[in-house]
Amino acid sequence: MVGILFWIHAGLAIASAILCVTRRSPVASALWLILTLFSTAVLYVLLDAHFIAALQIMVYSGAIMVLFLFVIMLLNLGDQLADDIKGWGFGRPLAILLAAFVGIELWVVTKVAPDAQLLLPTGAMDEMVSTEGAVGLIARTLYTEYLIPFELTAVLLLAAIAGAVVLAKRRV
Amino acid sequence: MLLGPALGVSAILFSIGVLGVLMRRNAIVLFMCIELMLNAVNLSLVALSQQLGVDGQVLVFFVMTVAAAEAAVGFAVIIAIYRHKETVDLQDLNLLRG
């Protein structure tokens, strides 16, 4: 059951990602990207990352994609359908080479497993989620082991807010 | 055991994102492709965290924060450029080439 759901949503994510890259209208691209983000959220649930899935839908599909659509609307680009997809040009041999590399990497990745000593026992993450809760599990690690990076994130967000205001304002 | 398939899907999504960055000329669609790549990395981190402990999910948390900050600042830059050039087509933004 989990396997079937995984493959359905993996296929959905890849198909909508391709559509996102190839659509001409930026609005259509944004909507297909939202579908990709939603199906990735389903994959997160299947991989026992429930809190991250909720975060994905709220932060990515909710906040960031609304920002994208807002900027498209603000700059009035929704109906500007110039042919902005570049052709192949001289890049075709390079592209085929790189695609072959990625194919080999995919093949290797499915063959190689991480070191068995490092692995948690099967179902361990599921059990931790059911005892500590999906949020508590992350919160404990975040507020103890990763406390300093977490605080630095606050500084980063402040810098981003200030930078965005200064850049986008006509006169500071 | 979904680790292998999840890493494979993540690699495919990342490649599609790279393809988009290389092929598109609209700056906003370029940003979308960058989000797609970040999303692919998040997927691989989550897949590994199922096997190797919760640290991967904490890292996803940080990646999302950086993505949000990057989108905000990037759009501010795009709006500032649009005000000068009246376009977001990267083909027209060739000041450095002279």
- Tens-digit pLDDT profile for residues A26-58: 889 999 999 999 999 999 999 888 899 999 999
Q: Which amino acid is at A81?
A: L
- Tens-digit pLDDT profile for residues B38-94: 999 999 999 988 888 888 899 999 999 999 999 999 999 888 888 888 877 877 777
Instruction: Give percent above pLDDT 90 in chain A.
Output: 35
List of domains in chain B: 3-97 (1.10.287.3510)
Mean pLDDT of chain A: 84
**Identity of the residue in B6, B35, B72 whose CB atom sits nearest the CB atom of A43:** B6
The answer to whether B50 contacts A37, with C-beta atoms less than 8 Å apart, is: no
> What was the ipTM of the complex prediction?
0.90
Angstrom distance (rounded) from CA A142 to CA B61: 9
**Identity of the residue in A7, A47, A85 whose CB atom sits nearest the CB atom of B46:** A47
pTM of the model: 0.87
- CB < 8 Å to A51, chain B: 57
The answer to whether B52 contacts A82, with C-beta atoms less than 8 Å apart, is: no
Chain A stretch 116-135, residues whose beta carbon is closer than 8 A to a beta carbon of chain B? 118-120, 122, 125, 128
And the tokens for B67? Answer: 């993505």
And the tokens for A45? Answer: 């649930």
- Tens-digit pLDDT profile for residues A128-143: 878 888 888 888 888 9
Based on its alpha-carbon atoms, the radius of gyration of chain B, rounded to whole angstroms, reads: 17
Write the DSSP string, A36-92: HHHHHHHHHHHTT-HHHHHHIIIIIIIIIHHHHHHHHHHTT-TT-----B---GGGH
CATH 1.20.120.1200 domain extents, chain A: 1-80
pLDDT at A172: 62
Write the DSSP string, B62-93: HHHHHHHHHHHHHHHHHHHHHHHHS--BGGG-
Contact A49, B57 (CB under 8 A): yes
CATH architecture of A1-80: Up-down Bundle (1.20)
Angstrom distance (rounded) from CA A129 to CA A95: 43
**Identity of the residue in A59, A91, A109 whose CB atom sits nearest the CB atom of B4:** A109
pLDDT band (50, 70, 90) for residue A85 = low
Angstrom distance (rounded) from CA B62 to CA A17: 23
Among B75, B91, B92, the strongest candidate for a mutation testing the A interface, having the largest count of A CBs within 10 A, is B75
The answer to whether A67 contacts B19, with C-beta atoms less than 8 Å apart, is: no
- CB < 8 Å to A137, chain B: 54, 57
Say whether B57 sits in a helix, a strand or coil: helix
Chain A stretch 78-97, residues whose beta carbon is closer than 8 A to a beta carbon of chain B? 82, 84-86, 91
Contact A56, A37 (CB under 8 A): yes
- Tens-digit pLDDT profile for residues B3-32: 888 888 998 899 889 888 888 888 888 899
Contact A43, B6 (CB under 8 A): yes
And the tokens for A161? Answer: 């807010």
Question: CA-nearest residue of chain B to A58?
Answer: B64
**Identity of the residue in A51, A74, A106 whose CB atom sits nearest the CB atom of B8:** A106
Contact A39, A12 (CB under 8 A): yes
Q: Is A75 on the interface with B (CB under 8 A)?
A: yes
Class of residue B51 by CB neighbours under 10 A (exposed 0-12, middle 13-18, buried 19+):
buried
Q: Which amino acid is at A90?
A: F
